[in-house]
Structure 1
Amino acid sequence: MTLPITGRSAAEIAASVRALIERGELTPGDALPPVRQLADSLSVNRNTAVSAYRQLTQAGMVVTRGRGGTRVADRSPVAQEGFAAESVLRDVATGNPDPEHIPNPSRALAGVAGRPVLYGEPVIDRELESWASGWMRADLAPAEVRLTITSGAADAVDRLLAQALVRDDAVALEDPCFLTTIHTVRVGGYRPVPVPVDDEGMTVAGLRAALEQGVRAVICTPRAQNPTGASLGEQRASELREVLAEYPYVLVIEDDHFSMLSRTPFRSVIGPEHKRWALVRSVSKFLGPDMCLAVAASDPDTAERLAMRLTPGTTWVSHLLQRLALSLLTDESVAADIANAAQHYAERNGAFAARLSALGVPATAGDGLNLWVALPVPARDVSEQLMRRGWLARTGDEFSLGAVPTDHRLRLTVHDLSELDADRLAADIAAAVRAAGGRLVPAEVK
């Protein structure tokens, strides 16, 4: 079919294609004519057609797929973290921290008012910066480190990518990947390049392949990777650093979202000579999702660019919030609460994995809030069976970028279940596997 694309200039051609998309004559996934064919049909220079497609790409209307050509972008929604809206089922797919283990900020709130903060003042509160400097620098190899503040880890990643990339730039993402990261990259109009994750985190071969494809940024979770719970060992981290050393100007973003709750050491992939990098640590997992605050440590140039996007106004982070976070983070009783929460998550996830294994669904608990459970049958079949039993779980394909099979995986958030409910869910998962045609091998008879 010949598309009714018209125009003599790049702007006119781009506007014509956009109109076709808006009228529904072009739908997500539809292919546009090759550049040379379009130029010939409109009797324009090939560079004019290239420029038109570039404008559409930067506007997020189309995506380029190399030999796969240029296609209309898919704007369908992606899955998000949190409770499922309007569900009557017991939700074990939330990815939320346990509200019983989020410190109460009431006492700290009374002491954070202080003097007013005015336009032109530093983006990051000086006292918070002083405290956070030790928290961040202890785990970083580069000598020059600058700190800034953002409204959470997702905000930091979004701004870090925006200050370094343009639409359709390639970004290396872990596969399977954190839902919020997938959403951030997709909304930004960047092109995700999957890097497989195994039991030790991002794979060396996968990262090398992504870099050879020309990615301009890498997003890595060194520990408590979501959804797998994997954490980098020292050897894996060292091997990843060696690969990245060959690409010093590729932006490397480390998202250490679980930080204070993690049961494993932090091992960075950022080498001492890397030029463009950032380590991001939010407080949402241990102080609560409503504490929208993250500290970003980075090289000086990246820090300067990031700070420019956080000038006083609607984009900066409230100094009241910063003072509240500092008050909590330096309170010994809150530190004890965070340590107890870390133990709680580890013990509850471990206990549930043991329940599943005893019933014939082998499972191990990684680091983090969730369990990543392998099944002998498709997860969709098990999920449907669980819904009939009153449970809502997430299937692995929601986290997939396509490089690693995840269709036999469930991600479960079980740390806030009572003992009775945990027993019931484990039994229902085993029953769901049997109903879907799976074979159970209880741990004691292996």
Structure 2
Amino acid sequence: MRNRVIIREGFVQDFAIDLESVAVSEGKSEAIRREIERAIIEERLKPGDMLPTVRALADDLSINKNTVAAAYRQLRQSGLISAEGRKGSAVARHALLAASRDVDAGFIQTMAVRDGNPDPSFLPNEGEIRDALSRISVAHHLYGEQRNDAGFTEWAHAQLVEDRIDASNGIFVSAGALDAIERALIAVRLRPGDLVAVENPGYMCVHGLVRTMQLEPTSLDIDENGVTPASLRKAIKAGAKAVIVTSRSHNPSGALTSRARAVELRKLIGDGGDILFIDDDHTNLLRLAGYNPWHMGARRWLTVRSVSKALGPDFRIAYSTGDAQTMHQLEQRQGLGMGWVSNLLQRLVRELLLTVSVQRKIAAAGRAYCERHHLLTTALKKRGFDVRTGAGLNVWIPISNEHEITPRLFEAGWLVRPGSDFCFGEASGIRVTAARMSASTILGFSDALARVHKEVSMTFIA
């Protein structure tokens, strides 16, 4: 059933609340809260608009009034609505929406929206971790024994096959995604000065890794459908030895590779020759969007998936698969170094990922990150910023004067990551982590950025 709140007697504009689309684990009050938040961000509800009374909304939705009361209580606590006595509740006046800045005797508390971290409320808690540890074997793993835990590699294989990724050449287990990428670049024997195509803007750690290895980055441009064919063609023609991309939930923008673009890029690369194509699928477990890879048709390819966004950065495990030669070289290289990733950690990760309560958290995290990304990009578009839709933990805001805007945002209470960390060449902007931002935080930040951007623009005009 799709329920609808109708305008009447000067109350809210018509907007839909779909209770059936929300997982049972979220609850109906959560569905109501999220829909009202979305309506406020999208300006279908404006400051001062009256909401239906608790009883009236409960009657319209045919639910218990306590459910509506719980949703309204959460909205009041976040500063989005205010009690108006007997009149009911109203969308808070604009000045009240900056709940993300705590002002105490003139002191503005700085809020960091720059770190790229997941929301800790969706990560396994101490009880779940201890319970998982109590269920797994803690037997010692000795030199010369099988490197990886069979249970973990079987789970990883099933995950890859589910996304129609050929895992017939086995599973490589590494200490995180960057560990796998670094070992792959070493394994294919790249030399200082060799070209490596990376997204621009792109993941700053990949940029840093390429430079540290004395390799030369060359730019892959990103649009709303993923890597642009023209930039990939140019990189290949220039002699790139490796190509590193993120087809799903690009960092920093959240851009998603469309199915049509994937087909176009797959035709462009052909068999790829000796170029190694790497896809860093870092949000795989969160299922933020469909997966449309294009690199697997190449002769040399690698798909890398980590668990850090779903379980937390301290669970340093990634699993990869690729062509037979690359997989063999990876295993050889690891054997000469660290040897293997802790089997105890592999068992723990698998047990956590099979725990029902953890699975529910991961699913809830995926929904929340999609929603927060959408709300932030919507709010920014309303204020004139050219941001792209997508899905991810971060949002990329292209601006031409980041060096003036970043310190002014800090003075206003917002710590963001400057775009120079993610770009090389002329690209400019800032990256904002939306993963832990509430609706009120989103509104407060969007207003602050719009104000600062206007001030800086006026300064330049003057």
Counterpart-to-counterpart distance in 2, 1:93 and 1:433: 18
Q: 2:323: which partner in 1?
A: 299
Counterpart-to-counterpart distance in 2, 1:371 and 1:180: 17
Q: 1:389: which partner in 2?
A: 412
**1:144-293 correspondence to structure 2 within 5 Å:** 144-164=168-188, 165-272=190-297, 274-293=298-317
Is this contact kept in 1: 2:296–2:302, CA < 8 A?
A: no
**1:391-406 correspondence to structure 2 within 5 Å:** 391-402=414-425, 405-406=426-427
Q: 1:57: which partner in 2?
A: none
Counterpart-to-counterpart distance in 1, 2:225 and 2:432: 20
**1:93-104 correspondence to structure 2 within 5 Å:** 93-104=114-125
When residues 438 and 126 of structure 1 are mapped into structure 2, their CA distance, relative to the original with a 3 A threshold, is: farther
* SS across alignment from 2:374: helix
Shift of 1:300: 1.8
When residues 246 and 147 of structure 1 are mapped into structure 2, their CA distance, relative to the original with a 3 A threshold, is: closer
How large is the Cα RMSD of the aligned pairs? 2.1
Shift of 1:438: 6.2
Shift of 1:362: 5.4
Counterpart-to-counterpart distance in 2, 1:337 and 1:309: 36
**TM-score, normalization: structure 1?**
0.73
Q: 1:28: which partner in 2?
A: none
Is this contact kept in 2: 1:262–1:367, CA < 8 A?
A: no
Is this contact kept in 2: 1:123–1:149, CA < 8 A?
A: no
Which digits, 9 at most, give the CA deviation of each residue in 1:92-134, with x for residues without a partner? 1111111111122232122233321111122221111111111
Q: 1:317: which partner in 2?
A: 341
Q: 310-319 or 164-173, which moves further after superposition?
A: 310-319
Counterpart-to-counterpart distance in 1, 2:185 and 2:152: 24
- The residue type paired with residue 239 of structure 2 is G
Identity across the alignment (%): 34
* SS across alignment from 1:123: coil
Tell me if 1:431 matches 2:427: no
- Number of aligned residue pairs: 347
When residues 194 and 357 of structure 1 are mapped into structure 2, their CA distance, relative to the original with a 3 A threshold, is: closer
Shift of 1:360: 4.3
- The residue type paired with residue 443 of structure 2 is D
Shift of 1:278: 0.8
Counterpart-to-counterpart distance in 2, 1:316 and 1:342: 30
Is this contact kept in 2: 1:119–1:312, CA < 8 A?
A: no
**1:64-75 correspondence to structure 2 within 5 Å:** none
Which digits, 9 at most, give the CA deviation of each residue in 1:221-253, with x for residues without a partner? 111011121111111111111122152321111
Is this contact kept in 1: 2:224–2:388, CA < 8 A?
A: no
**TM-score, normalization: structure 2?**
0.71
Is this contact kept in 2: 1:216–1:250, CA < 8 A?
A: yes
Which digits, 9 at most, give the CA deviation of each residue in 1:350-403, with x for residues without a partner? 22333333444454542110111234x52222212212112111222321122x
* SS across alignment from 1:437: helix
When residues 368 and 190 of structure 1 are mapped into structure 2, their CA distance, relative to the original with a 3 A threshold, is: same
Counterpart-to-counterpart distance in 1, 2:120 and 2:339: 28
Counterpart-to-counterpart distance in 2, 1:214 and 1:99: 42
Is this contact kept in 1: 2:271–2:299, CA < 8 A?
A: no
Q: 2:434: which partner in 1?
A: 414
- The residue type paired with residue 216 of structure 1 is K
Is this contact kept in 2: 1:120–1:312, CA < 8 A?
A: no
When residues 305 and 384 of structure 1 are mapped into structure 2, their CA distance, relative to the original with a 3 A threshold, is: same
Shift of 1:143: 7.5
Shift of 1:170: 1.4
Is this contact kept in 2: 1:93–1:413, CA < 8 A?
A: yes
- Specify every segment of 5 or more residues in structure 1 that has no aligned partner in the other structure, as ranges: 1-87, 440-446
* SS across alignment from 1:146: coil
Counterpart-to-counterpart distance in 1, 2:173 and 2:159: 14
- The residue type paired with residue 417 of structure 1 is M
Which digits, 9 at most, give the CA deviation of each residue in 1:281-332, with x for residues without a partner? 0000111000000001111221111112223874521001100111111222
Q: 1:347: which partner in 2?
A: 371
Q: 1:27: which partner in 2?
A: none
